[in-house]
Every structure is written in structure tokens, then in C-alpha cells.
Amino acid sequence: MRDDPSVRDVYFAYDSNLHSARIVSRVPSARTLGAHLLESIRFTLDKPCRDGSAKANLCPHPACWTECLLIGPGENTA
């Protein structure tokens, strides 16, 4: 993938952005490049929101792996 000149930016999708229809509705040019495991990264729901809910977050953790999708190229997905 690193040698593919068509891939400029890669987005690590997790949480609700793992739903392909959702990410494509937000970024129509996005395409799934494949699944990936992030070593030493833990998926948490500890990012506080103003409404009192918690959003997903990725945090360092030596004993965890987190599954994500690689999305690219496309507009900014943040």
C-alpha cells in the first residue's frame, strides 16, 4: 500500500465509522483498503461530550489490539 501512488492519505476507521455506508455517505470518494490491527492500542468509550455521553477513543495500552479499517483516498474524514 505504501508504494501505491494512488493512496495519498489513509484514515483509520473505528467505532461508527466501521459501517461502510456511513463513511461513504460522509466521504463519497472513500474506499476500503482493508482491515488492520493496531498493536498496543485500546478502544475505549471515554471521550466526554457536552451532552453527557461518551465517544470512542483510541488509547495506548501495552496488552491490547484494536481492529480498524483503512480508508483512503478521499476528503478529510475527521
The pLDDT, as a whole number, for residue 73 is 62
Q: Is residue 54 part of a domain?
A: yes
Q: pLDDT tens per residue, the chain (78 residues)?
A: 445 555 556 677 776 777 778 877 887 887 777 778 888 988 888 888 899 888 888 889 998 887 777 777 654 444
**Rg (Cα) of the chain, in Å, rounded?**
14
Q: By residue range, what is the domain housing residue 49?
A: 11-72
Tell me 4's DSSP state. -
pTM of the model: 0.54
Q: Is residue 3 part of a domain?
A: no
**pLDDT attached to residue 77:** 45
* Host H or E run for residue 22: helix 20-26
User: Does residue 52 lie in a domain region?
Assistant: yes
In a domain, 48, yes or no: yes
Indicate which CATH number applies to the domain containing 45. 3.10.490.10
In this predicted structure, what is the pLDDT of residue 51? 92
